[in-house]
Amino acid sequence: MDEKPLYEGSFTVVGGNFDNAGEVSTNIKSILKKIGLSKDVVRKAALVAYESEINIVSYARKGMIRLRVVPDCIMIEAIDEGQGIPDIEQAMQPGFSTANQKIREMGFGAGMGLCNIRSFSDIFQISSEIGKGTHLKMIIKANNNVIQ
């Protein structure tokens, strides 16, 4: 973890901006591709970033996604200022959702987001404070696939 990162940066995500939801993840994907990580790893990381971004747009006032890439792994953090999650265990249940119509029209809000994030991450951590926001931390192993 103390290695010099191949990439380090953070991206702002605006809550409620449904038209541009996914822009940050598209950006993250192209950064990871340029680094030369394997297709499979890039795809997993982009998926995790995208579901996290959709969550911030859907439920928070604003937030950011932090990306840190070291040769062994990709670390993605999604930190938002929002309502927070009252019951994390319940929120992690497949199918549990508090989504409104707007979110459902986009093809999301069926209560799969956090489950997908967890299942595509090698390490997943979640913490949340009511009225303050939610913090997700994900690590995706790169399996030494970095071409340097």
Partner 1 sequence: MTLHELKKLLDAEVLIGEDQLDMDVNTAFVADLMSDVLAFATAGSLLITGLTNPQVVRTADVLDIAAIIMGRGKLPSQETFQLAEELNIPILTTKYILFEIAGRLYAKGIRGCIEKVGSK
Site of interaction with partner 1 (CB under 8 A): 19, 21-22, 25-26, 29, 39, 43, 46-47, 50-51, 54, 105-108, 110, 112-113, 115-116, 119
CA dist 95 → 33, 99, 109, 110 (Å): 32, 11, 9, 6
* Shortest distance (Å) from residue 46 CB to partner 1: 4
Q: Which residue from 64, 60, 143, 62 is spatially nearest to 103, judged by alpha carbons?
A: 60
Q: In the bound complex, what is the minimum distance in angstroms from residue 50's beta carbon to partner 1?
A: 5
Closer to partner 1 by Cβ: residue 20 or 132: 20
Q: Among residues 93, 94, 106, which one has the least CA distance to residue 59?
A: 106
**Judged by CB, which is closer to partner 1: 59, or 108?**
108
For strand 73-82 and strand 133-141, is the pairing parallel, antiparallel, or unpaired?
A: antiparallel
* Angle of CA points 116, 118, 119, to nearest 5°: 65
- Nearest-approach distance from CB 45 to partner 1, in angstroms: 10
* Residue closer to partner 1, measured from CB, 2 or 19: 19
- Read off the DSSP letter of residue 98: -
Strands (E), 1-148: 7-14, 60-70, 73-82, 123-129, 133-141
* Smallest distance, partner 1 to C-beta of residue 107, A: 3
Smallest gap from Cβ 57 to partner 1, in A, equals 10
Among residues 39 and 132, whose Cβ is nearest to partner 1? Answer: 39
Q: Which is nearer to partner 1, 50 or 75 (CB)?
A: 50
